[in-house]
């Protein structure tokens, strides 16, 4: 009887650890990455300390900073270069004379990559020094979202943003915003520097210079991405929202710029029809990008019903499931906790490096031990162990039962 108990215990402990192998769609046997869009913009005023800190705590692997330039050439985080919609600057009479209008188009006269046109009258970060911006208070920009954190948090400098990310153990995802327009303004003011120069200097200052550093450097302007080639080793992400630029020729141009990932507007992957239902997914586009050796991210995943196709039945989990099945590698999310909760329900493992550089994942179903990430295929050593275990256990079991 004791022998039978031993055999059954042996099989119970060993076999699950051999056959429970990650079967997720993420790269390298891991879950796709979660990028906290502007921190956690669905819950808190975007680009604030509370949005960044809680975005990390709520499950983001990376937190995003849209990088803007100040008059004294400091870097701050804010979605666009113009700011009256995101803070209380209009209530500050001492800044009334700072109102201005700038053209915020990209450098391609033949195509709208991310043109904004003439913006103004408005207030722009480049007309304030960093200390002045720190006196302004930010607010939630989406009317249907929680206003209870309005006018409590100010602008976050790039240095503060990096400090938060490092203290939380997450990566950074800075985006170079409107580089053509900002570089034009800098040149007109006689500044012999570009936004790319300033961002790369800041990254280097904080130790982000190579592909293994926890940094994803983004831009909507391909010319800016191309100018970064050879100047830094950090991973670059090209943001793309125009279907007309998803052809093979343009994707190859992106690849030639040493881009790590293309981040697509999610409607390019699952386009809604005229009635608001998501139809046939563009699996070919995802496979086309993967075939070029680049990852595929998408933006922006939100919890609000207005952001969901009708055939998701009001359930964001249905949307996440669709993209997961398509093999998406990264999710920009206004509610990173929602995407993290979804991944927690999948058979995938979040990357978490210990002091020895090993990823921590479960051993068997008992949560015991620490083993490196495995693929969905058995290695030769696993087959040998499985055959050995079976060959050892079966005769013992037969002998005990006969």
**pLDDT for the residue numbered 398:** 53
Residue 393 has pLDDT above 80, yes or no: no
Residue 43 has pLDDT above 90, yes or no: yes
* Average pLDDT of every residue of the chain: 85
Pairing of strands 216-219, 118-122: unpaired
Which tops the pLDDT comparison, 5 or 198? Answer: 198
Report how far residue 379's alpha carbon sits from residue 246's, in angstroms, rounded to the nearest whole number. 37
Give the range with max mean pLDDT: 100-114, 309-323, 339-353, 382-396.
309-323
pLDDT in tens, 242-272: 999 999 999 999 999 999 999 999 999 999 9
pLDDT in tens, 107-158: 998 888 889 999 999 999 999 999 999 999 999 999 999 999 999 999 999 9
Q: What CATH architecture applies to the domain 33-345?
A: Alpha-Beta Barrel (3.20)
Of the chain, the percentage scoring pLDDT greater than 90 comes to 77
Of the ranges 32-36, 142-146, 354-358, 359-363, which one carries the lowest mean pLDDT score?
354-358
First to last CA, the chain: 12
Long-range contacts of 192-201 (CB under 8 A, 24+ apart): 193/73, 195/67, 195/69, 196/224, 196/227, 196/228, 196/231, 198/69, 198/73, 198/75, 199/67, 199/75, 199/174, 200/228, 200/231, 200/232
Report how far residue 26's alpha carbon sits from residue 347's, in angstroms, rounded to the nearest whole number. 10
Task: Give the per-residue SS3 of 182-222.
Answer: HHHHHHHCCCCCCHHHHHHHHHHHCCCCCCCCCEEEEECCH
Which tops the pLDDT comparison, 19 or 149? Answer: 149
pLDDT in tens, 196-221: 999 999 999 999 999 999 999 999 99
**pLDDT for the residue numbered 5:** 44
**pLDDT for the residue numbered 110:** 85
3-state secondary structure of 77: strand
Pairing of strands 156-157, 75-77: antiparallel
Which tops the pLDDT comparison, 3 or 116? Answer: 116
> How would residue 394 be classed by pLDDT, with cut points 50, 70 and 90?
low
pLDDT in tens, 297-316: 999 999 999 999 999 999 99
Query: What DSSP element (H or E) covers 5?
Result: helix 2-19
pLDDT in tens, 65-80: 999 999 999 999 999 9
Residue 377 has pLDDT above 90, yes or no: no
**pLDDT for the residue numbered 29:** 67
**pLDDT for the residue numbered 63:** 98
pLDDT in tens, 178-195: 999 999 999 999 999 999
Report how far residue 325's alpha carbon sits from residue 5's, in angstroms, rounded to the nearest whole number. 41
Domain range list for the chain: 33-345
Report how far residue 269's alpha carbon sits from residue 327's, in angstroms, rounded to the nearest whole number. 11
pTM for the model stands at 0.82
CB 163 within 8 A of CB 169: no
> How would residue 228 be classed by pLDDT, with cut points 50, 70 and 90?
very high
**What average pLDDT does range 365-372 have in this prediction?**
26
**pLDDT for the residue numbered 399:** 55
């Amino acid at each position: 009887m004791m022998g039978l108990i031993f055999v059954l215990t042996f099989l119970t402990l060993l076999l699950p650890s051999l056959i429970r192998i990650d079967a997720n769609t993420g790269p390298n046997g891991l879950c796709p990455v979660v990028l906290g869009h502007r921190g956690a913009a669905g819950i808190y005023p975007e680009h604030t300390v509370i949005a960044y800190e809680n975005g990390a705590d709520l499950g983001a692997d990376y937190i995003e900073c849209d990088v803007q330039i100040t008059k004294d050439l400091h870097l701050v985080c804010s979605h666009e270069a113009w700011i009256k919609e995101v803070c209380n600057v209009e209530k500050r009479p001492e800044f009334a004379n700072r109102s201005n209008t700038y053209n915020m188009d990209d450098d391609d006269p033949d195509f709208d990559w991310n043109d904004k046109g003439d913006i103004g009258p408005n207030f722009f970060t480049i007309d304030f020094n960093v200390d002045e911006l720190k006196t302004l208070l930010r607010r939630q920009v989406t009317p249907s979202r929680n206003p209870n954190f309005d006018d409590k948090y100010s602008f976050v400098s790039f240095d503060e943003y990096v400090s938060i990310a490092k203290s939380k153990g997450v990566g950074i995802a800075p985006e170079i915003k409107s580089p053509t327009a900002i570089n034009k303004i800098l040149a007109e003011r006689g500044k012999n520097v570009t936004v790319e120069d300033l961002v790369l200097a800041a990254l280097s200052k904080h130790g982000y210079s190579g592909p293994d550093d926890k940094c994803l450097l983004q831009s909507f302007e391909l010319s800016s991405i191309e100018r970064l080639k050879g100047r830094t080793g950090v991973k670059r992400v090209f943001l793309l929202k125009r279907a007309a630029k998803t052809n093979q020729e343009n994707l190859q141009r992106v690849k030639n710029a040493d881009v790590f990932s293309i981040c697509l507007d999610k409607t390019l992957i699952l386009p809604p029809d005229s009635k608001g239902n998501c139809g046939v997914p563009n699996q070919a586009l995802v496979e086309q990008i993967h075939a070029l050796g680049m990852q595929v991210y998408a933006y922006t995943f939100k919890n609000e019903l207005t952001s969901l196709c009708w055939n998701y039945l009001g359930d964001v989990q249905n949307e996440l499931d669709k993209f997961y099945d398509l093999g998406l590698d990264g999710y920009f999310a206004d509610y990173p906790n929602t995407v993290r909760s979804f991944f927690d329900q999948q058979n995938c493992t979040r990357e978490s490096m210990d002091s020895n550089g090993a990823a921590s994942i479960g051993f068997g179903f008992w949560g015991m031990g620490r083993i490196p990430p495995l693929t969905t295929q058995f290695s030769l050593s696993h087959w040998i162990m499985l055959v050995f275990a079976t060959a050892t256990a079966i005769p013992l079991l037969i002998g005990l039962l006969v």
